[in-house]
Amino acid sequence: MTRRLSILNGQSRRMDGGVVFGSVPHRVWADWVRPDHENQVDLPSRALLVQQEGRNILVLAGCDLLVAPLPRTCRCQRHPHGLLDGLASLGLDEGDIHAVVLTHLHAVLPEDVLSAAREGDLPRLLFPRARYLVGERHWLRAQRPHPRDRGLFVQQLLGLLESSGRLELLDGGQSEQLGADWRFHVSDGYTPGQLLPEILTEAGPLVFAGDLVPGTYWLQLDVTSGHDRNPEGLVEEKEQLLDHLVASRGRMILARDPQVAMIRVTRDRQARYQAYDEHSTLLRLEA
């Protein structure tokens, strides 16, 4: 099967750097990603667009990018570049998307959108024709979140997903919606039931690493984030996935890395994981 793969950028996330990099000392991570005076860092939110058999499939890390942008109240407001702009550059609009794969349901929303959600006025969901594919075990977690990650689930957003009539819960493995060349790694370290899709291509497997390996800095096994629910388990999951990619010469999509969008992985003489064959963007790759 011939596919076209493209990486699209949504609106970036603004987060506390200490939370993003967990136990990594400030002097170390501040050399990786420069924070502002409030210790905030900007991280991209990348989506993978897979075009196959006349269908357009989006893969998203979390559901931030599912929310329609708030309307501008005056012309003086800057138009933030988002996922819809990336689709438009490929000649697509939101009605052309047939399926949206959500690795998990965390949402780090801009403050104005979050304020609207608190007031019960969350904007609509994007992609009105698409099926929304979510891990079943993670969906159950989102319905009854632990106090440690409750703030990462926006209940109004979950309600919109459920009431859409287009929510499909997956139990891992595969999905009839996507075809036999898709399978899922199930990860519990960052959040229970995260689904990481792997697509079999002619050049080897391609894994969308979600928030298990959000960027090249997380190739170091001991680098975790403050949001990880089970850091020790996450380290073991990372090692297993990275070993699989090394052995298969597979590629990995990085959802949050400030510079790099896709890599292959190798191990050096000290058995440390290293990125190579790095790409900052990807447009219409035939695979």
pLDDT in tens, 60-117: 999 999 999 877 666 655 656 789 999 999 999 999 999 999 999 999 988 888 888 7
Q: How many structural domains is the chain composed of?
A: 1
pLDDT recorded at residue 76: 59
Among 258, 250, 255, 257, CA closest to 277: 250
CA distance 143 to 152: 12
If you ran DSSP here, which 8-state letter would residue 95 be given?
G
pLDDT digit string (tens) for 228-262? 999 999 999 999 999 999 999 999 999 999 999 99
CA distance 280 to 77: 29
Q: For residue 61, give the CATH number of its domain.
A: 3.60.15.10
Tokens standing for residue 194: 């995260």
Residue in the block written with tokens 């190798």? 266
pLDDT recorded at residue 75: 62
**More confident: 134 or 287:** 134
Which of 46-60, 79-93, 123-137 is least confident? 79-93
pLDDT recorded at residue 60: 98
**pTM of the prediction?**
0.94
Which residues constitute the domain of residue 87? 3-286
CA distance 102 to 105: 7
pLDDT digit string (tens) for 17-34? 999 999 999 999 999 999
